[in-house]
Chain A
Amino acid sequence: MSIQVNRLSKTFAPQQGVVLEQISFTVPSGETLAVIGPSGCGKTTLLYILAGLQEASSGTITINEQAQGWADGRSAMILQNFGLFPWKTVRANIALGLKLRRTPERVCRQVTATLLAELGLDGLAERYPIQLSGGQQQRVAIARALATRPDILLMDEPFSSLDAMTRERLQNLLLSLWQQRKLTYVLVTHSVEEAVFLGRTILILSDRPTRVKALIRNDEFGLPALRTKNCYFDRIRQVRRAMEV
């Protein structure tokens, strides 16, 4: 599924000024986009609009050649602080999206079991989110988003609250999920390293009023053991320089 965003603008209230101004970019099917920008610039807002949870003030979003409407189930979103429901067990959290689509119980159980195993959550199914570590919670959030087999995955700073070790493990996990499932994803981050490791294209946003500052192609994305390669560090330097302009 490809995403095409054309001259997208968002204003919440006129006196607050413009939040997003004339943002345009394209994510081809099966490719990935990392969005990076100063805090408060409107990254979360951009994702909400892509997910159909908020409406753009002007501009168009085309997903697979169709205009995007109200959250229609083709995309799934992982919220900034996971958004897991504390009153539901891990299993119920993961199965919720399927339940809401009236999927038969048997299928729900099957999909949930597969995802629990795939994301290394075996044995945690009956726990409540509060009983999990940050990394485990994040994996539950990923499992929940993947349960409905979305074409597009939207992630809002998914790994920012984790410690460095856990973060790298989960970044690797996301990469392998992308390879296996042929996902198209948009990832918001404030870490340059993460953007270079996880984005085929890196979208750099300016301070408000937010515009596209640079759109960098990251050809090395997905190479094995990228973190140890020189081109990885070159790319990081390039992105940093682009941000400072």
Chain B
Amino acid sequence: MLIFSRYLLCSALLVCAWKAAAMLLSSAILPPPETALIAFGRALKTGWFWKHFGVSAYRVSAAMAVAWLIAMPIGILLGYYRKADALLSPFVFLTYPVPKIVLLPVFLVVFGLGDFAKIFMIALIIGYQIVVAVRDAVLGLDRKYIDSFCSLGGGPARIIRHVVLPAALPHAFTALRIGTGTGIAVLFFVESFATSTGLGFFIMDAWGRFAYDDMFVGIIGMSLLGVMLYEFFNYLEKTVCAWKYLKAGRMSFVKSENSVVGHIRLFGRMIKFSHTVFALPFALAAVVLAQREHELTVPLLLWILVAMVGARSAAMGFNRIVDARYDGLNPRTAQRAIPAGALSMRSAIVLVVLFAAVFVLAAAMISPICLYLSGPVLLVLCGYSYTKRFTSFSHLYLGFAIALAPLGAWIAVTGGFDPSISVLSIALLAYIAGFDILYACQDAAFDRQAGLFSIPARWGPRVAFHVSAGLHLIAFICFFLIMIFFDLGLIYLVALLIMGVLLIIEHNLVKPHDLDRIQVAFFHVNSAISIVMFLGILGDELLRRI
């Protein structure tokens, strides 16, 4: 999290310095940051920006992967085998200081103007750094590890895997991470001529057209690419070489959760990110139905997905923050990230705000009406957290909040509302409320004690099971109505039958006095139901098109 705040802070400082420089210079070549950022935001919505970004990302990451795969074994070979070192090292160190970039014209002639020459150039330059770093690491390997390995009966063949490689890995990763800067610089250079794709070309081209805003779009894009690569290698290093980053004598084993990614992973686990499978298929089903009459573009679909993830994560995160006190008291939930102390309240809040911002941004990218609706939607979603405190019908409210997803997806694609899609929403509402009631049975005793409201807590598990079954019957009827309203055919009918069977299975898996299998009922069966529903609608749509 610290890194993340640092990134934000540094970006803010950078923007300030940029603004000051732009004001001092007051020349078109350095546009003020807000102009450039707005241009950048606009570019994000265009296909051409992503094309150039994608090409550049491909070139540099392919080059780094190739460099890694080739340089790592060479470095180990040189470091470990004296003979190889004696033979090859002079060659390596003679050519190491030579700036390989000057050979670009030769490469372009020999390998042609395609991607190969560019990737080769970057890989060559990064590869050298990795070779040298790995060789030195292996040479510096403490003798005692080799002795120790041999004393355990290990031979020379397996020492590479068990000793040499793991000892050299952190150094190789560091070289790769440091190489990112060089890699991006070389990328810019090789892209600045003899090509018409990539961010390097984009920057030079914009410069040539005196389109300085565009030029900065490219510059920001390239910087982002660098940051992303750097953080990716950082993450790889911390994951693969976890042992290197442990503090001596630390009592609990926490796997590098101090990185941004670590925090997001914890957050993801906390909000049960995997449970997105319940609601997402409904939203996608709405998209499938909506695109019959309206055009659906790939960016639109992506933004809908981003909005879904953002809204869900923000809402669930908010929920865990508000409920942290109760989670900590309940033995079943005391291990969740916040009460267990693994994720600080502050980090969680930052992430919730961030996901909310992602949601609003995605909505803004879709259409103005979505942007206007995004605020109220967030309020509705976050409101759920408080309903448990005053009404036993919080389950229905949860269903209602989640049922906004297909509605939102429909509005995103069609730009308007249609009563028939609300049937899908009602189905989702009943389906979610139904299984939330089952789930709440686990906490009935605790809720009663803590003064929280739920149907099982108020009327007991038997009543709860009946209500749940009733709701799932309503859901099933709605699933059936969808078939009529949207004129679906045989495939959906089959899906409908499967869903009915699954609902019956779900209700037979758990009994009021036997909740052991609730996790199975909850996760596998539920995800199966929503996915079968989506596949039914999708399959039907595909059949219709043929």
Contacts and interface: CB of A to CB of B under 8 A. Distances in A.
A77 B147 CA distance: 10
A127 interface: yes
Contact of B145 (A76, A85, A126): A85
Nearest to B158: A100
Interface residues of B, number: 28
A87 B144 contact: no
Interface in A93-117: 96-97, 100-101
A76 B151 CA distance: 6
A51 B151 contact: yes
Nearest to B155: A100
Nearest to B154: A100
Nearest to B153: A73
B250 A131 contact: yes
A74 to B, nearest CB: 10
A130 interface: yes
Nearest to A127: B253
Contact of B147 (A48, A87, A100): A48
Contacts of B153: 71-73, 97, 100-101, 148
Given A51-B151, A76-B152, A131-B248, A83 B163 contact: no
Contacts of B144: 79-81, 83
Interface string B158-171: 10001100110100
B104 to A, nearest CB: 39
B152 A87 contact: no
Interface in A24-81: 48, 51, 53, 71-73, 76-77, 79-81
B246 to A, nearest CB: 5
B12 interface: no
A84 B251 CA distance: 19
Interface in B139-156: 144-145, 147-155
A126 B246 CA distance: 13
Interface of B: 144-145, 147-155, 158, 162-163, 166-167, 169, 241-244, 246-251, 253
16 contacts: A53-B151, A79-B151, A81-B144, A83-B151, A85-B162, A85-B163, A86-B244, A88-B243, A100-B155, A130-B247, A130-B248, A131-B248, A131-B250, A131-B253, A133-B249, A144-B152
Given A85-B166, A131-B249, 5 more contacts: A53-B151, A85-B145, A100-B152, A126-B253, A133-B249
Across the A-B interface, the 6 shortest Cβ-Cβ residue pairs? A83-B148, A87-B166, A77-B151, A97-B152, A128-B243, A73-B153
